[in-house]
C-alpha cells in the first residue's frame, strides 16, 4: 500500500495490520509476554503530530519561547513584575515523555489494544467511536468514554468476562491518546494553534504559547471558548494562592482566550510579595490586596499614591484603615513600618553576674544600665569598660575600604618610564593585591572608648550595643610580628623590650621603631623607640596588666609610591580590629 495520506493515517493502518496478523493463532508463553507488552511496543504518541502535515508538536523537546513579549509600555520602566509572571518559566510542558497519564479520560478516536487467550484467541487494536464505545466481536459495544486510563483494563475485562466466563484471559491497554488542536489567542507571547491532549491543563497550552504577556495580558481573566460560547473561566490567582485549577477536557478547535490586563496596583515596601497585582471589579479593596501582597507583621501604615478623575492623590493611613480603601489603576501602595520602638536591647559581655541581655528605654544611658548590672569587684575591671557598636564598626569598615581603594588606584595607575620598571610595578601590584584581599576580610570591632583612669562616660546607648566589662588579669599579651606570640605575666619592673624578648624577639618583618599597645579599655596607643628607650605618645602612659603589645609589620621600602598608604591602612586595621596585617 502507498501512504499518500497524512502520517496519522499511516500509523493507524500499521497498527491495524499488526493487530489482525496476531488473530486466530495459538499463543505460546513467549507470545503471551509479547502480548502483555503490546501497549509499550506499539504505542505511538499521536500528539507528536499536528493535524496539518504531520509536523511534530515537540512535546518531548523544550520549546524555544521568546523571552520578550514586546516593547514595554511607557511608564512601567523600573516597576516590579506582575504577580505570577514566573508561572511560565518552568519546563513542565515537556515533562511527560509519552503524553499519557493514569488520570487521562478516554475520548473518541483513542486506540485500545485488546488481547484474549485461552478458550478464545484474539489480538486487535480497536478505535473508540463517536459514541464513546469500542466494538469487540462476539462481545458487542463496550462503553469506555471518560474512563480513566488506569481503569480501562478492568472495565473492558469485566465486559468480556460477562460473556466468556471460563478459561479466557484478557489484557487491555490504552495505546494512544487522540490529540486535540487548541487555539490560544489574546495577549500571549505567541498566539496560534497548538496540539496537545484533551486532559492537558490550560497552563500547558499557555506555556506552549510562550506564556501570558506580562505587560498586556490578564492573569485573572482567561476563558475557554467552544463554538463561540464561554464554557469555563480561569483566575490564575486562585491557582497561585490556593492551588485551585479546575479540571477540563479540551476538544478540537477550542479557544483559550486571555483577556486584556485589568487595573494594576504596584506594591512596595514591607511586603512579602512586592509585585504588581491585577484588580478585579470585585476586589479593589485594600483587604483583598493584602491577601496576596502579605505585608510584614511590623507594617503599621500604608502610603497610597495615584490618580483619580478629580486629580492626583497621596494618602497615608494606618494599616487598619486600609482594609476598606478603594484602589484604582496605577496606584502605588507602600507598606511602611512607621512605629518607632520605644525600647532597645543591649548585651553585656566579659566579667559580670546575672543576665546578659537587657531591654531598656530608648534614651537610656550607660551608667543607668550599669547600676543594675552585678559584678564581682575582685574579678571585673569595671574601670576599663568599653562598648562594641555596630554603627561604629560599619564606619570603620567603610574607612578601611576607602583607603584600600585609594591604594589600589595609586598602585595600578603608577607610571613606568621603562620596561624594567614596568615589570617591577607589576610585581608590586600583585603583592599589593594580596595585601588588599587580606585587609578586606578584616572585620572591625566597632569599639567605643568610654572609660579612662577609672572614669566611665555616661553616653547614650544604641540598639544592639555590646557593653564589655573586661576581667581582671595579670597577663600581658604579646602578638603581631614576634617569633613566639604569647601571654606573659605582668611585671611592673619589665620594659617593652623585656616582653618582646620573652616572646622571642622581633620577626624579620617587624616595625621595631613603633609598637601599638591595646589597653584594657579598648584604647590603642603607640610607643616609639628613641635613645634605647620607648616613649609613649602621651606622657605618663605605662604598661599595666591587661594590655596587649601589638608589633606591626614594616612596609618594604621598595613600595616607594605606596608606602604611606600601606602604613596608614596597617594602623587603621590595628586600631579597628586589634590585628596586625602583613
pLDDT tens readout for residues 338-384: 877 788 899 999 999 988 899 888 889 999 899 889 999 899 998 89
What pLDDT does residue 293 have? 92
Locate CATH 3.10.560 in the chain: 264-336
What pLDDT does residue 99 have? 52
DSSP state at residue 8: H
Q: Which of 5-14, 137-146, 288-297 has the lowest mean pLDDT?
A: 5-14
How much is the average pLDDT of 476-484? 91
Flag whether pLDDT at 557 surpasses 70.
no
Given a contact cutoff of 8 angstroms between Cβ atoms, the answer to whether 83 and 262 are in contact is no
Flag whether pLDDT at 464 surpasses 50.
yes
414 or 217, which is more confident: 217
How much is the average pLDDT of 303-312? 91
Q: Which of 93-97, 367-371, 501-505 has the lowest mean pLDDT?
A: 93-97
Flag whether pLDDT at 109 surpasses 50.
yes
217 or 247, which is more confident: 217
Q: Could you give the percent of the chain with pLDDT greater than 70?
A: 81
How much is the average pLDDT of 16-25? 37
Distance CA 196, CA 182 (A): 8
pTM of this structure = 0.53
8 or 558, which is more confident: 558
39 or 279, which is more confident: 279
What pLDDT does residue 567 have? 77
For residue 280, name the pLDDT band (cuts at 50, 70, 90).
confident
Mean pLDDT across the chain: 80
pLDDT digits (tens, 9 = 90+) for 433-454: 888 888 888 898 999 999 888 8
Distance CA 300, CA 317 (A): 9
Flag whether pLDDT at 38 surpasses 70.
no
How much is the average pLDDT of 160-171? 87
For residue 2, name the pLDDT band (cuts at 50, 70, 90).
very low
Largest Cα–Cα distance in the chain?
Answer: 122
pLDDT digits (tens, 9 = 90+) for 49-82: 333 333 334 444 444 444 456 677 766 777 888 9
Distance CA 209, CA 14 (A): 33
Flag whether pLDDT at 188 surpasses 90.
yes
Strands (E), 37-177: 111-118, 122-127, 133-136, 140-143, 168-176
Flag whether pLDDT at 563 surpasses 70.
no
Helix (H, G, I), strand (E, B) or coil at 297: coil
Pairing of strands 357-361, 455-456: unpaired
For residue 91, name the pLDDT band (cuts at 50, 70, 90).
low
Q: Which residues of 139-176 are buried (b: 16+ CB within 10 A; e: fewer)?
A: beebebbebebeebbeebbebbeeebeeebbbbbbbbb
Strands (E), 119-226: 122-127, 133-136, 140-143, 168-176, 179-185, 192-197, 217-226
- The class level of CATH for 264-336 reads alpha beta
Taking phi over 0 as left and psi of -120 to 50 as alpha, with beta for the rest, 482 belongs to: beta
Residues 6+ apart with CB under 8 A from 244: 238
Given a contact cutoff of 8 angstroms between Cβ atoms, the answer to whether 379 and 471 are in contact is yes
Given a contact cutoff of 8 angstroms between Cβ atoms, the answer to whether 457 and 366 are in contact is yes
Q: Determine whether 121 is exposed, middle or buried from the number of CB atoms within 10 Å of its CB (0-12, 13-18, 19+).
A: middle
Task: Return the closest-CA partner of residue 219 out of 199, 201, 204, 239.
Answer: 239
Edge-first strand order for the sheet with 475-480 is 486-489, 475-480, 548-551, 514-518, 524-530, 533-536
Q: Which of 158-172, 423-437, 470-484, 549-563 has the lowest mean pLDDT?
A: 549-563
Flag whether pLDDT at 547 surpasses 80.
yes
What pLDDT does residue 530 have? 60
For residue 513, name the pLDDT band (cuts at 50, 70, 90).
confident
Amino acid at each position: 500500500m502507498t501512504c499518500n495520506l497524512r502520517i496519522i493515517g499511516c500509523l493507524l493502518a500499521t497498527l491495524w495490520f499488526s493487530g489482525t496478523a496476531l488473530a486466530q493463532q495459538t499463543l505460546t508463553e513467549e507470545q503471551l509476554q509479547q502480548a502483555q507488552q503490546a501497549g509499550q511496543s506499539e504505542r505511538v504518541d499521536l500528539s507528536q503530530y499536528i493535524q496539518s502535515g504531520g509536523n511534530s508538536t515537540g512535546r518531548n523537546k523544550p520549546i524555544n519561547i521568546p523571552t520578550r513579549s514586546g516593547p514595554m509600555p511607557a511608564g512601567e520602566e523600573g516597576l516590579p513584575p506582575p504577580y505570577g509572571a514566573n508561572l511560565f518559566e518552568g519546563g513542565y510542558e515537556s515533562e511527560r515523555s509519552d503524553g499519557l497519564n493514569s488520570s487521562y479520560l478516554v475520548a473518541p478516536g483513542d486506540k485500545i489494544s485488546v488481547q484474549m487467550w485461552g478458550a478464545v484467541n484474539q489480538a486487535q487494536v480497536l478505535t473508540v467511536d463517536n459514541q464513546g464505545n469500542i466494538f469487540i466481536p462476539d462481545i458487542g459495544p463496550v462503553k469506555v468514554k471518560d474512563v480513566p486510563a488506569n481503569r480501562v483494563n478492568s472495565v473492558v475485562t469485566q465486559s468480556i468476562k460477562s460473556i466468556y466466563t471460563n478459561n479466557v484471559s484478557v489484557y487491555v491497554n490504552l495505546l494512544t491518546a487522540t490529540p486535540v488542536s487548541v487555539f490560544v489567542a489574546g495577549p500571549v507571547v505567541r498566539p496560534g494553534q497548538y496540539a496537545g491532549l484533551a486532559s492537558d491543563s490550560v497552563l500547558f497550552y499557555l506555556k506552549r504559547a510562550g506564556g501570558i504577556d506580562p505587560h498586556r495580558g490578564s492573569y485573572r481573566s482567561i476563558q475557554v471558548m467552544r463554538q463561540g460560547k464561554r464554557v469555563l473561566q480561569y483566575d490564575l490567582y486562585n491557582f497561585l494562592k490556593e492551588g485551585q485549577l479546575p479540571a477540563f477536557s479540551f476538544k478540537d478547535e477550542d479557544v483559550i482566550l486571555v483577556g486584556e490586563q485589568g487595573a494594576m496596583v504596584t506594591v512596595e515596601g514591607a511586603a512579602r510579595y512586592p509585585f504588581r497585582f491585577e484588580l478585579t471589579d470585585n476586589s479593589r479593596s485594600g483587604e483583598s490586596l493584602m491577601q496576596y501582597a502579605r505585608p510584614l507583621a511590623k507594617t503599621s501604615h500604608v502610603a497610597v499614591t495615584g490618580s483619580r478623575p478629580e486629580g492626583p492623590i497621596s494618602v497615608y493611613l494606618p494599616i487598619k484603615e486600609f482594609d476598606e480603601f478603594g484602589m484604582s489603576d496605577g496606584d502605588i501602595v507602600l507598606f511602611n513600618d512607621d512605629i518607632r520602638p520605644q525600647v532597645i536591647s543591649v548585651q553585656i559581655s566579659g566579667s559580670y553576674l546575672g543576665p546578659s541581655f537587657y531591654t531598656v528605654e530608648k534614651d537610656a544611658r550607660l551608667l543607668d544600665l550599669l547600676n543594675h548590672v552585678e559584678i564581682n569587684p575582685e574579678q571585673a575591671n569595671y574601670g576599663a569598660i568599653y562598648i562594641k557598636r555596630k554603627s561604629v564598626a560599619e564606619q570603620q569598615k567603610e574607612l578601611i575600604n576607602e583607603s584600600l581603594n585609594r591604594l589600589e588606584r595609586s598602585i595600578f595607575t603608577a607610571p613606568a618610564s621603562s620596561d624594567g620598571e614596568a615589570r617591577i610595578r607589576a610585581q608590586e601590584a600583585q603583592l599589593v593585591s594580596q595585601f588588599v584581599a587580606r585587609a578586606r576580610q578584616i572585620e572591625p570591632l566597632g569599639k567605643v572608648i568610654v572609660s579612662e583612669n577609672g572614669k566611665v562616660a555616661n553616653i547614650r546607648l544604641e540598639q544592639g550595643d555590646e557593653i564589655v566589662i573586661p576581667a581582671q588579669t595579670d597577663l600581658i599579651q604579646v602578638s603581631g610580628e614576634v617569633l613566639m606570640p604569647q601571654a606573659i605575666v605582668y611585671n611592673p619592673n619589665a620594659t617593652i623590650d623585656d616582653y618582646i624578648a620573652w616572646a622571642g624577639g622581633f620577626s624579620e618583618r617587624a616595625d621595631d621603631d613603633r609598637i601599638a599597645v591595646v589597653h584594657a579599655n579598648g584604647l590603642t596607643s603607640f610607643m616609639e623607640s628613641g635613645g634605647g628607650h620607648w616613649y609613649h605618645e602621651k606622657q605618663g602612659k605605662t604598661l599595666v596588666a591587661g594590655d596587649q603589645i601589638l608589633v606591626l609589620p614594616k612596609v618594604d621600602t621598595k613600595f616607594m609610591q605606596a608606602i604611606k598608604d600601606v602604613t596608614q591602612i596597617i594602623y587603621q586595621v590595628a586600631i579597628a580590629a586589634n590585628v596586625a596585617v602583613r
